Amino acid sequence: MPVLSTNQREQVCKSCPIFKPTDQTCNSKLWINPNTDEVSVTAKAGFIRGCGCKMPFKWRNLSSHCVAGKF
């Protein structure tokens, strides 16, 4: 996977269905299927729980990664 710029990472997050724009976090109360972007409120096989991170820090730290494999 190519390294994305800070702006590209921000756009990826903002288009993700588990991104919480109110506090700019990855919603740790939701699970996402990284292949289909389907969202669940309960754990399911093949789904990954949102990390809960404040995303602006991950956008700027190019060595960090998305738990769902988006960057």
Give the model's pLDDT for residue 3: 82
Residue pointed to by tokens 């740790």: 28
Is residue 71 situated within a structural domain?
no
For residue 15, being part of any structural domain is answered with: yes
Q: How far is CA 69 from CA 17, 22, 23, 33, in A?
A: 14, 23, 21, 10
Report if residue 43 sits inside a domain. Answer: yes
Instruction: Tell me if 70 is assigned to some domain.
Output: no
Q: What is the pTM of this model?
A: 0.89
Q: Write out residues in the chain with pLDDT < 50, as ranges.
A: none
Domain count of the fold of the chain? 1
- Flag whether 55 is in a domain: yes
